[in-house]
Amino acid sequence: MPSWETQHTSAFVPSGRNRHRRTGQGGGTGLRRAVVLAMAVPVASAALAGPSAFAASHDRAASAGTPANDLSDQFDGDDARTVANLNARVLDPRLGSQVSGVVLDADSDETLWDHEGATALMPASNVKLATATAALTVLGPEHRFTTEVVYGHGTLTLVGGGDRTLSSEDLEDLTKVAVAGLRKAGLDTVRVAVDDSLFAPPALAEGWNEGYYPDSVAPVRALVVDGRGVQDTSLDAGQAFARMLTEAGITVHGEVTRHRAGPREVPVARHASAPLADIVVKMLKTSDNDIAETLLRMTALGAGRPATFEGGTEVVRQVLSHRYGVSLDHFEMHDGSGLSRGDRIPAATLAQILELLTQPRHAHTLGSILRGLPVAGEAGSTLGPEWGRFDDPHSSCAVGEVRAKTGTLTGAVALSGLTRTDDGDWRVFSFVENGSTAAPDAIKDAMDGLAATVNGCWA
C-alpha cells in the first residue's frame, strides 16, 4: 500500500496536549465529527472499501445528527458570544437561505458551531483545498515537473511534463541548449513537434460552462508556456519554441505538429519546475484554475492512475479518506479547480481538510497550503483590497488575522480558512452559500463578517 494511503494516529496537537481518541478516530478527526456529519456508510468505489478512519462507530452513531447549535450552552465567555453572534449573523439576508457553515476549535477538538454543516453545496474554488492536499501527499512538496526537448529523425520535440508554470524564459533556456546541441552535431535545419500525450482526453471537465474556457480555464494539456489561455496550449508552446529557434539562426521546416516521442530519441534539453510546495502557494494565492487542473492530472499519475479527471478525483478521495480520515459523506468532485457546477462538498468536510493544517505532524507535507491561503487584506491575493475584501466596518478588524480560500461562481460563494483567537487557539471555519440573489460583493462582505466573528474581533 502506498505510504500516502497509510493512516497515522499520532495524538499530538498544536497545544501540546495529548488527544485521547476512541477506537476508529485516527487521522485528525474526533468524536465531534458525529456532531457535524452523520457518519453513514460512504457511497464510494471499491478502492475506498477498505478500513477508513471515518467508519461509523457505535459512539458516533449515538450522537450523529445532533445540531452543534443545540450544544451552545456548553460554552461560556468568548466562545458563547461567538456562537450567539454566528447564529444571528448567518441569517443575514445577503447570504440567502442556502448557507452551510462550521467552526471547529482545533485545539480542544470540539465543534464550536454548526449551521447545516453536513449539507453539500457547490463549493466553487474551495475544491482546490482538496486538490492541493492530495497533490502534496502523493507527489511530495519537493516534487518538480519536467519539460524536455528530444531529437530524432530531423525533428526536435518539445515534451510536456505537466509544468503549468513554464515561462518564456524557461523555454528560451531550453532553446539555447537545443541550439548548442544542433550546432555541435552540424545541424542547422529541423522540424518542430510537441508531445502532450502525458494527459489523456477529455480536456474539459463535466460541469464546465462553455464561457469558462479558455479564459477562466484552458482545456487541460500537459504543455503550456506563460499560462496562456488558448484553446491548444501545446501547439501554442511549440510555435513559441519554433520562433525562438528561428531567432537563434536555426531553420524550421513546416508547421508545428504533434508527435509522440519514442524511447530512441535523443534527450537534448531539460527544465525542472520550482518545487510543488511553491506551485501550490501560487495556485492558492491567486486561485489559479489551470494549475489546479494540471495538479489533479499529475496526482493521478503519481498514484498510478490514468491522467484524467476521473483518475485524479479518485485519488483525491482515497487520500482524504484513507490517509487523513476526512469524511466523504455527500462529497462529489468532478475537477480540480472547482469550476464544475456538479461539484458538491459540505462545509464540514472543507473544515476537516483545513484542520489538518493545525497539526504539526502534517506540517512538512501540507505546510504550503497554510502558506498559500490568502491573508485578509493581502494585496495580490484573492483576499486583497483590489477585490474589496475585509474592507467594511465589521470585517476590517480581521485584516492580517484571517487566512482563507475564496470561492466564487455564479450562484455560489465560499470562504474557508483559519484564524487564531487572542489566546492563540486555532479556529477553523468554512462558510458556503448557494443561490443568494444579493450582489456578489454584498455576499462576500457578509462572509467576511462571519470570518471576523470567528476571529473574535467583531464581537
Of 372, 368, 405, 370, give the one whose Cα is nearest residue 143: 368
Of 52, 139, 59, give the one whose Cα is nearest residue 331: 52
Architecture of domain 22-140+279-455: 3-Layer(aba) Sandwich (3.40)
Q: What is the pLDDT of residues 2-48, one digit of tens each?
A: 555 544 333 222 222 233 222 233 333 333 343 333 322 222 333 33
DSSP conformation letters of 174-197: HHHHHHHHHHHTT--EEEEEEE-T
- Amino acid (one-letter) located at 417: G
Q: What is the pLDDT of residues 285-297, one digit of tens each?
A: 999 999 999 999 9
Domains of the chain, residue spans: 22-140+279-455, 146-273
Our CA angle for 307, 129, 294, nearest 5°, is: 25
* H/E segment holding residue 428: strand 426-434
Whole-number Å distance between alpha carbons of 161 and 174: 14
58 CB burial (10 A radius; 0-12, 13-18, 19+): exposed
27 in Cβ contact with 10 (< 8 Å)? no
Pairing of strands 189-195, 155-159: parallel
What is the pTM assigned to this prediction?
Answer: 0.85
Whole-number Å distance between alpha carbons of 399 and 452: 9
pLDDT at 186 (0 to 100)? 95
- Amino acid (one-letter) located at 394: H
Instruction: Please measure the distance between the N-terminal and C-terminal CA atoms of the chain and give it in whole angstroms.
Output: 48
Whole-number Å distance between alpha carbons of 315 and 444: 32
Pairing of strands 251-252, 155-159: unpaired
Cell numbers that stand for 187 in this block? 545541424
331 in Cβ contact with 122 (< 8 Å)? no
pLDDT at 215 (0 to 100)? 80
- How many alpha carbons fall within 13 Å on the CB side of residue 64? 16
Whole-number Å distance between alpha carbons of 225 and 41: 44
pLDDT at 73 (0 to 100)? 62
pLDDT at 423 (0 to 100)? 85
As a CATH number, domain 146-273 is: 3.50.80.20
Backbone φ, ψ for residue 261 (5° rounding): -65, 135
Residues of the chain with confidence (pLDDT) below 70: 1-74
